[in-house]
Structure 1
Amino acid sequence: MTTTPPQITDSHCHLDFPDFEGELDEVIARAQAAGVTRMVTICTKLKNEPSVRAIAEAHAPVFYAAGTHPMSVENEPMATAEELIQLAAHPKFVGIGETGLDYHYSSESADIQQTSLRIHIDAARETGLPLIIHSRAADEDMARILSEEMAKGSYTCVMHCFSSSADLARAAIDLGFYLSMSGIAAFPKSSDLRDIFAAAPRDRILVETDAPYLAPPPHRGKRNEPAYSALTARIGAEAFGMDYADFAAQTQANFDRLFWKAAKTQAAA
């Protein structure tokens, strides 16, 4: 007798990347077999939005979001809030971004990154869709901008692939935001990061792969794929001292609350 694995959602992956070319059907099938019933594929350059949208349209379990990645913003046309709002009319478009700040690789473009981030926040505020944040080596500016923008009007947000400081985690939680757990949290040396997650409210936690990057053990160093979010979720359950099925159900409820449009579109299908 086979048992059906608990359902989870890979809240952040990149299925349009060449790593998955010609294999999407198999990758999605493996995800579903692992209990990953939904995936949000992320467009990081708006010129690629049509191809990312096409993936979501062709595969029922796949939803999508779009924005300009902070590491690309210097070399891409600056997005406008109006452009993002227009894209959000699509029924499977469920989030704004990823956007954010990355000073590790791209500190010289800090000013333009901050401008782009605020534009994406405007779009998230206007559409009611969650902002998807990438933050690396920019904790102080990130916390400041997110707080300043919240004072202008509320919006929702997930700190994708969270691997920053406990201070930024607390700042995000205090603003009502969510933290997403990637394969980094499953690495053996990531005990401090697991402690940061465990200190957060369990109703603010999502799981993701960021595939094709950051595969959790035992696949570390290899191509990541949505099925492996189940491996990270098992580590998450351990960090919270929860049964895996209960943790999976909690993250599903969290995803449905934050990514309300995905839940609504799925229910109407």
Structure 2
Amino acid sequence: MIDLHAHLDLYPDPATTTQECVRRNLFVLSVTTTPSAWSGTAALAKSATRIRTAIGLHPQLAQERQSELGLFQDLLPRSKYVGEIGLDGGPELKSTWDTQCRVFEEILRMCKAVGGRIMTIHSRRAATPVLDALAAGDGAGAAVLHWFSGTRRELQRAVDGGYWFSVGPAMLAGERGRTLTANMPKDRILTESDGPFAQTEGRSLYPWDVVEAERALAQIWNVTEDEARDQLMQNLRALTSIIPQ
């Protein structure tokens, strides 16, 4: 199983959650919300060969953590994964929009300067500005649009741009999420949990709950669950081969 977007450090018991991911032999991309969280989060998985830790600066924290951009740049050579980054167009964050854009553009510039990174990207209510920034920052690496919720036109633009997508049980629980997913290229989709933030049936999702996303994808693609899992593994190998170690 593959969880391409989980906040391991933010579970109630991060160490136990990480150990369970290892026991189940999951591939997990452990994302961070600030550069200062990276070292401690990476330490959780220091002996886990299938867990990678991404360097992030979440758009919802861009205003208060913009001073950590220097640390972000210092850490960047230590991981080929970046996230969670992006833009958030929620009305409650309107006052931080200019800072969000500047921080996101600077991160894309940094990624390009080091030869590109695999990036997991937040685009809530901001799909078009995110796609604009990615187009302007061409060369920053492989962009994975996490829990994409844009319009059909924005989705087509993302598909045409060659971007990837990660989908999880919470997204696939709704008709709109399933419809968007059905229109994504089958060979550019990966699964995610977005735990502990994402929930289904009133409980936080854990990385191993991506099995629910595998089942939903099997239905959408009209294949068996084993075939869906094989496709996802092929996709992961293709994604991780884009940026050299």
| Worse-superposed segment, 175-184 or 165-174 | 165-174
- Structure 1 residue corresponding to 2:61, chosen from 69, 72, 79: 72
Alpha-carbon distance between aligned partners in 1 of 2:146 and 2:188, rounded to the nearest angstrom: 12
* C-alpha deviation, 1:238, in angstroms: 0.9
- Structure 2 residue corresponding to 1:242, chosen from 210, 223, 244: 223
* Residue-by-residue CA offset, 1:69-88 (whole Å, 9 max, x unaligned): 000010013444x7545424
Alignment gaps of 5+ in structure 2: none
* C-alpha deviation, 1:113, in angstroms: 0.6
Aligned identity (percent) is 22
- Structure 2 residue corresponding to 1:215, chosen from 194, 199, 205: 199
**Counterpart in 1 of 2:157?**
171
Alpha-carbon distance between aligned partners in 1 of 2:153 and 2:67, rounded to the nearest angstrom: 30
Please give the secondary structure, in 2, of the residue aligned with 1:127: coil
* C-alpha deviation, 1:134, in angstroms: 0.3
Q: Is the 8 A contact 1:181 1:236 kept in 2?
A: no
Matches within 5 A, 1:32-181: 32=24, 37-80=26-69, 83-84=71-72, 86-90=74-78, 93-104=79-90, 105-125=92-112, 126-150=114-138, 153=139, 155-181=141-167
* C-alpha deviation, 1:132, in angstroms: 1.5
**1:148 to 1:128, Cα distance in 2 relative to 1, 3 A:** closer
Q: Is the 8 A contact 1:96 1:132 kept in 2?
A: yes
Q: Is the 8 A contact 1:99 1:116 kept in 2?
A: no
Q: Is the 8 A contact 2:86 2:104 kept in 1?
A: yes
- Structure 1 residue corresponding to 2:12, chosen from 11, 19, 27: 19
**1:256 to 1:59, Cα distance in 2 relative to 1, 3 A:** same
**Counterpart in 2 of 1:4?**
none
Please give the secondary structure, in 2, of the residue aligned with 1:206: strand
Normalised by the size of structure 2, how large is the TM-score? 0.89
Matches within 5 A, 1:192-231: 192-216=176-200, 220-231=201-212
Alpha-carbon distance between aligned partners in 1 of 2:37 and 2:190, rounded to the nearest angstrom: 25
Amino acid across the alignment from 1:161: W
* C-alpha deviation, 1:260, in angstroms: 3.2
Alpha-carbon distance between aligned partners in 1 of 2:195 and 2:206, rounded to the nearest angstrom: 5
Pairwise CA RMSD of aligned residues?
2.3
* Residue-by-residue CA offset, 1:44-84 (whole Å, 9 max, x unaligned): 1111111111012132321110120000010013444x754
**Counterpart in 1 of 2:213?**
232
Q: Is the 8 A contact 2:120 2:144 kept in 1?
A: yes
Alpha-carbon distance between aligned partners in 2 of 1:222 and 1:253, rounded to the nearest angstrom: 30
Please give the secondary structure, in 2, of the residue aligned with 1:71: helix
Alpha-carbon distance between aligned partners in 1 of 2:95 and 2:183, rounded to the nearest angstrom: 34
Alpha-carbon distance between aligned partners in 2 of 1:21 and 1:179, rounded to the nearest angstrom: 26
Q: Is the 8 A contact 1:79 1:119 kept in 2?
A: no
Alpha-carbon distance between aligned partners in 1 of 2:123 and 2:140, rounded to the nearest angstrom: 20
Alignment gaps of 5+ in structure 1: 1-7
Normalised by the size of structure 1, how large is the TM-score? 0.82
